[in-house]
Structure 1
């Protein structure tokens, strides 16, 4: 294993923003089927359930790519690897736009998953090579703000473009965004020769580092708690908050804005205290969830609680990506891969758990149990999860 390399003297902010654009493009493409499922299924002659597998195969491919990218690309310049993932985004979107059948559509979504998981797993590690150590939290928060912006923009924009010009044209637009991203990255990303010696066994070695496995367990609990809630946000807003369809659309949009603000705020909070950021975000989400379920807060009170939840979750991806790179700075890409796998598996587990709880007792049960899980995860993180300080990379 090689020593961690010296940190850069100055910050390459243009390169950081090119990575944020890359994350935005990849997540936008991932989310598009959610708003285009009905016309896609109708034109391809399949059920919406079958067309919905376009989301599933992307998530599975992202998990595998997150695990394998560091080891399979260990001898390749990181700039070329990142540019390659952006090319996969373009190719996937173009071929989905002309897909003649469901099989071709799903295969191209697998390509997108490979790009998404690989890009995400490398993002925090690459940020360490673009800015000085003290600025890494801010850089990572900017990069991951691409997730929040995609959450806000992708579904309503996809739905609008789909109605205006058809679902295939929407994927062509995603390919166009990929081309813009590729050009931006070509001009801004510096050469980054590979430095670590990651192999498949490295993943197991990283997981066995003192405190790393426990931290991943805490991260899983936070994400499972959130995605059990988020899967049922619409029935919660309709049945508990009592919003109509127009109010629902507006509130989901504002939830996304709060999420974006939380992502940027976390970059600042991380410079003060990593442990505080890791523990505070699930604590706030847990309080919001329990209050929605158990406190008669009135419509304005419920809206404030939902916005608090969105604000808090905005900091989660940023905080855990920073935690992983600080815990194992010498194998930051492998650590990032494990974070991606944890998040993707937690999305599936959270949605499944939320479904079971919803069947047992409806929205109130989902929010009550998830709130307890989130508060328990906050306590575990505050008491047991290691939170190393910044270290200069010498």
Structure 2
């Protein structure tokens, strides 16, 4: 499509109506891709007993299908993004979705744990690269003034997966079989693949296509700060949220039958926070990140202090959902602004930090819960979030105007 957004200056001009529509349809396809990858990443959580029985392994071993997935994505995001740096972004997305579909369909027919693990690794390899380029691609598809809105639309797939993707996948797997659940997420990938083929214009690669650029972008102090903030705040979130079910049951006294409803409410609150962030981040990036991480620390501390108060604990859970969802939009926007000429390389470090934080947070939370119950996870998570807010303040004071958070 000759009139597509392919250059740095193109977003400034007013594209034809058809081009603009196709650009936003491509952005919607990327959002569906985020929804699909997040759903696939967490799908085994609700199906662990069935998967363990079906593959003759323990539940703990089956759980490695989730933690191992995150580890592979974290370890490979940066190098694979660099190695694919010269590919046209449209055809890279098409290739990633082919891997995604193939991996999930392989999982759907797997009868052994080893084959299922191989299938998960195939999807995890695509996962890291997809996350590294998705937002950078999205902001090239729309006028520059809509970049933050496009970011919030794409990352809205995270909250939507929490609301609909993972619960529906679990329900399908429990009512039929876990094989059918993997077929369904594979079909989702086919829709994303179709959207990329139909609506995505040719997008020539930008930046350098070598592993050396990964080290070069780390010379930017603001990027190091962004990676540090991401590691702290996301470790804190997953440290507490991974064990929020035992917290609500044992500390707050919520009936098991209501946990699903509360997690649904958390996801809906996340959708609200995600799109609210689109309006706020563009105007006050640094303030929104400091406020979001600082308020998250307060919310988690309150949950630690008054967990027995059902009304207050549930209210804080809703606030948690809103605040958490604002952070990926702000953090991803910050990363894209720090090194605009190598945005995908910078994003790959962000993806590695994010996925690494999932594993680190869940590990620390598990150790705390085993040792002292789920309540202390809230206080330790609050400390992580507070540390992120402090790092944001300090980095804003020490960075140069070009690399500071915000404008």
TM-score by length of 2: 0.91
Cα distance in 2 between the residues matched to 1:285 and 1:321: 18
Distance in 2 (CA, whole Å) between partners of 1:60 and 1:73 is 20
- The 10-residue stretch of structure 1 (198-207 or 61-70) with the greater mean CA deviation from structure 2: 61-70
Task: Give the whole-Å Cα distance in 2 for the aligned partners of 1:367 and 1:104.
Answer: 37
The partner residue of 2:249 within 238, 241, 247 is 238
Q: CA deviation at 1:297?
A: 7.4
Question: Once the two structures are superposed, what CA deviation does each residue of 1:7-49 show, in whole Å capped at 9, x if it has no partner?
Answer: 4234521111010011111111111111121112212222222
Residue 133 of structure 2 corresponds to residue 115 of structure 1? no
1:22 equivalent in structure 2: 33
Alignment partner of 2:259 out of 234, 245, 248:
248
Residue 392 of structure 1 aligns with which residue?
Answer: none
Partner Cα separation in structure 2 for residue 18 and residue 323 of structure 1: 23
Please name the residue that 1:97 is paired with: 108
**Paired residues for 1:319-330 under 5 Å:** 319-330=330-341
For 2:139, which of 101, 118, 128 is the aligned residue? 128
Q: From 285, 304, 312, give the equivalent of 2:296.
A: 285
CA contact (8 A) 1:66 1:336 kept: no
Within 2, Cα distance between the matches of 1:342 and 1:125?
17
- Distance across 2 between alignment mates of 1:187 and 1:127: 15
Contact 1:70 1:334 in 2 (8 A): yes
Mapped partners of 2:395, 2:308: distance in 1: 34
Q: Return the offset for 1:154.
A: 3.0
Q: Which residue of 2 aligns with 1:199?
A: 210
Alignment root-mean-square deviation, CA: 1.7
- Matched length: 386
Q: Could you state the TM-score of these two structures normalised by the residue count of structure 1?
A: 0.93
Aligned to 2:355: 344
Q: Aligned pair 1:5/2:8, yes or no?
A: yes
Give unpaired runs (5+ residues) of structure 1: 390-394
**Is this contact kept in 2: 1:134–1:271, CA < 8 A?**
no
Structure 2: gaps spanning 5 or more residues: 1-6, 397-403
Q: CA deviation at 1:347?
A: 1.2
Partner Cα distance (2:143, 2:347) in 1: 19
1:164 alignment partner in structure 2: 175
Shift of 1:329: 0.3
Aligned residue in 2 for 1:59: 70
Match of 2:220 in 1: 209
Query: What is the distance in 1 between the residues matched to 2:387 and 2:112?
Result: 46
Q: Separation in 2 of the partners of 1:51 and 1:362?
A: 23
Deviates more, 1:118-127 or 1:325-334: 118-127
185, 195, 214: which one pairs with 1:184? 195
The equivalent of 1:73 in structure 2 is 84
Aligned to 1:130, what secondary structure does the other structure show?
coil
